[in-house]
Amino acid sequence: MKIYNTMSREKEDFEPMHEKRVKLFVCGPTVYDDAHIGHARTYISFDIIKRYLEFKGYTVFYLQNITDIDDKIIIRALESSTDPKELALKFEKRYQEDMEALGVNGVNFFARATDHVTEIITQIETLIQKGFAYETESGVYFDESKFPNFGKLSRRNLEDLNVHRVNLDSSKKNPGDFALWKKKDQEPVWDSPWGPGRPGWHIEDTAITEEYFGPQYDIHGGGLDLIFPHHEAEIAQMEAASDKSPMVRYWMHTGFLNVSGEKMSKSLGNFITIRDLLEDYDPQIFRFFVLSTHYRSPIDFSEKTLEQAAKSLKRIQKTLEKLNELVGSSDGNDDAYFSGLLEDYQTKFFESMDNDFNTPEALAHIFNFVKELNKAFDDKKPSEKVLKDIISFFNEFGEIMGFDLAGKSDSGDISGELLDIIKDVRQKLREKKEWALSDDIRARLNDLGIDVED
């Protein structure tokens, strides 16, 4: 099994620190507003990654932080005359409801930043004692110049970075030094050795992961936009504090989500929350849309791509429905053919998933399997045992991908008699060589999830 590591820019054999135990951390949301579909893309991707690792026999502990103290939360609370803690709890609850609706239910523990202030302060004290951090009149900062490998994940040179940085705080030693602790006198604040204040953004993640995983663990995930400066800061903090490297064995990042070719933003009017999405679309359709693109690649959201995802999912559901209907009446003797077909596509599916969780390629194999099955059923039948083996593979696929394949396809509303009439009409059109009209009818039937093989 291979995983693409952002640090090495290569696919590497997956070898966790402990043979069958995997520690997975993914950056969670800052809970000042509803989560959007870009968040959903990332969290669905890592839900699949956890599901597949567990299918492979690993025990996975999936940890996610909740940033429930941040300037954005405080500003939004002031705007709405709400207590920051109440605002954060409200949107944390809504975020978890959104994840549940999307079938993202693999996170083992959500760790709030405000529940780990003691651990944050302890880690900052360690960094000061080791000479990697210093106190100023405005807070405590990490000294980037003391960490020689700063920028190794994003492959940015510290000297080049500092050329483009503006030092807005003259008390800092370097323009890029980032806050570990912000001295504040306006609530909410916590007591610390440096006076009342609040933790910086980057330090909460390393304090939380050190508490539950120790200074080193297997996989750290998040969106591409977090590589710099957030993940660079995490590496610097943890490796400086622990004297151990690497902090993480495998860095995994999801690609950007655009809307109809443009970056999603409120100013463009194309900002879509998960709740907005689920008012119009079944969550499984969005999940299918996400998995139709490799997790590392950019993905373009549009009404057209969602409609295509709906048709594709319906086609698989319809095939499984047909297979289940055959149970109890399948007494064929073409097992060699069907067993060979099943073994071939099982192998292809799992090879794709083993190759850096290549879900679009894995889905393509499922579609080819569906096509081959529907074609074979015209003149071949498997035995009951082989039929159940095929159904078992489809159910296995659904469990890995997080799909409910038991849902009935809409084509069940079309009676057999009506289908016979449609076939008869197409046959007469073909006899008259009116190919275009015949093909148009076939295309429309395919859009409804009805396969027509000539």
Distance CA 347, CA 185 (A): 61
Token look-up 């370097």 returns 174
Helix or strand or coil: residue 139?
Answer: strand
Contacts for 420 with CB less than 8 Å, ≥ 6 apart? none
Q: Is 403 in contact with 47 (CB distance < 8 Å)?
A: no
Contact indicator for 376, 336 with CB cutoff of 8 Å = no
Give every strand in the sheet of 217-223, ordered side by side.
109-112, 59-66, 21-26, 217-223, 248-254
Sequence-ordered list of residues with C-beta below 8 angstroms from that of 213, at least 6 positions apart, any chain = 23, 25, 61, 63
Distance CA 11, CA 188 (A): 44
Element (H, E) at 204: helix 201-213
Is the separation of the CB atoms in 383 and 335 below 8 Å?
Answer: yes
Per-residue HEC secondary structure of 363-384 comes to HHHHHHHHHHHHHHCCCCCCCH
Report the candidate in 203, 411, 198, 241 with the shortest Cα–Cα distance to residue 319. 411
Alpha helices in 80-116 (DSSP H): 84-101
Q: Would the annotation count 266 as a binding residue?
A: yes
Q: How many CA atoms lie within 13 A of 185 on its CB side?
A: 2
Distance CA 63, CA 204 (A): 13
Strand pairing report for 178-183 and 139-142 = antiparallel
Would you give the DSSP letter of residue 12?
E
Binding residues for ATP: 266
Binding residues: 266
